[in-house]
Chain A
Amino acid sequence: MYDIQNYYQAGDVEDAVRTLHKNPEAVLISGGSDVLIKIREGKLAGCSLVSINGIPELQSISREDDGTIVIGAGATFAGIAGNEIIRRYIPMLGHAVDQAGGPQLRNVGTIGGNICNGATSADSAPGLFALNAVLVLKGADGIRELPIRQFYTGPGRTVRAHDELLTEIRITRENYHEYGGHYIKYGKRNAMEIATLSCACMVRLTKQKDGVEDMRLAYGVAAPTPIRCSTVEQQAKGMKIGHGLYEMVGQGVLKEINPRSSWRASREFRLLLAEELAKRVLKQAIRYAGGEANA
């Protein structure tokens, strides 16, 4: 038996918001692959749960007429990785969520939970940062939308109010159309692993495919929250593909990130990884964007 005080299965989003509002101590549970483990470990022992598991309106993945891709917060990692819309328009994100845990975990873990638990190591986070994703939060006072860059406030902390629910993640067309993207996760094992460092990149090339028109680069575990490297992104714009670009990016990111030493890896090792991953992820993104990355 799990050490759970009370359990309530919400029928829909409004029901979940109402119940959270009435129960200031209750914990929201979606796929369960984080919350149930925290209960097992004793960190959340004796908590009251409000479950949004299986609510159909949270699970859909769709593309609107203007090209905006809408991912329900309850969509599972496996559901996203295998989804036709994701595979066609933003394969980088499908690849990223396919790195989380193992196959069984990916069948239950949800992208909303991955974001809302506030972990800098979330496999979906760097990709969503690089895609300029917008989060839709539904609360007792209504709906608000905010860019994912404004969502995290610290390790395990986000701006989500207790009685707010992340309902969908929106990615507009101008943020993926004609871009190539890639995600690299570094972990000590190939599976069932939490990222030591992770890096996502989206890049759009010039018409001749020899220069960078726009680039977005994001890291997980390189700071207390997932982060973007805005200065490097600005500097990369207009640069020709080649050694100079890779060196600028590889060196530049080191001034923008602030990894820590943990039992998983030292700060020094993470800095080494950051430089190398930035170069590799950029080269692969360039290839996916139709460019020649070995130039």
Chain B
Amino acid sequence: MLKIIQMTVNGKNVELAVDDRESLLDMLRNRLGLTSVKKGCEVGECGACTVLVDGKTVDSCIYLAMWAQGRHIMTVEGLKEANGELSPIQQAFVDEAAVQCGFCTPGLIMTAVELAGTGKKYSREELRRLISGHLCRCTGYENILNAVEQAIEGNSCI
């Protein structure tokens, strides 16, 4: 059954009729055209569909669209700078050659955004653990870690 929900998506107020059987992933891709959100395993294991819900990373494939009511959703499309340039976090992934086939990249970038948002410093070991909800099928984890490290470089608190 279709129900109308209100939320913000990438900073804009959105009112949308969604099916109550729909995942947040399907809603973002099919109704809003936000195809940075990738459909991978669909059971919450690969992290390709990671988006921020109220600032926290969530696998959008195992999150009902209905639950987005009143919440703030952010995807990679919401990251670009006002002048259309890449955000520093996206740039970090480019600089460190952390992108191979690219399928895991948007999800990992959203995790990096969450980590950068905490303002905390993290050791490389901590970062390994914090990105463990993402699978890179090209196995390019070293460069991904380098990129995440660069992305949170500005973080200062302990």
Contacts and interface: CB of A to CB of B under 8 A. Distances in A.
> Looking at A36, A78, A101, which has the most chain B CB atoms within 10 Å of its CB?
A36
Contact of B47 (A41, A54, A104): A104
Contacts, number: 80
B19 interface: yes
A295 interface: no
Given A2-B21, A102-B132, A192 B67 contact: no
A105 B21 contact: no
Contacts of A3: 21
Interface string A23-35: 0000000001100
A190 interface: yes
B62 A108 contact: yes
Given A7-B21, A37-B44, A190-B132, A104 B58 contact: yes
A36 B47 CA distance: 16
Nearest to A106: B133
Interface in B36-63: 42-45, 47, 50, 53, 56-59, 62-63
B23 A102 contact: no
Contacts of A101: 44, 133
A40 interface: yes
B21 A32 contact: no
Given A33-B62, A40-B43, A191-B129, A104 B67 contact: no
B44 A105 contact: yes
A9 interface: yes
Given A7-B20, A37-B43, A102-B133, A1 B26 contact: yes
Interface in A188-209: 190-192
A51 B64 contact: yes
A120 B2 CA distance: 38
B62 A4 contact: no
Contacts of B96: none
A107 interface: yes
B148 to A, nearest CB: 12
A259 to B, nearest CB: 25
B20 A4 contact: yes
A7 B66 contact: yes
Contacts of B57: 103-104, 107
A144 B130 CA distance: 38
Nearest to B67: A53
Contacts of B129: 190-191
B132 A103 contact: yes
Contacts of B131: 103
B132 A1 contact: no
A36 B131 CA distance: 23
Contacts of A107: 53, 56-58
Contact of B133 (A2, A41, A53, A191): A191
Contacts of B59: 104-105, 108
Contact of A33 (B19, B22, B44, B130): B44
The 4 closest A-B pairs by CB, nearest first: A102-B133, A191-B132, A7-B20, A1-B21
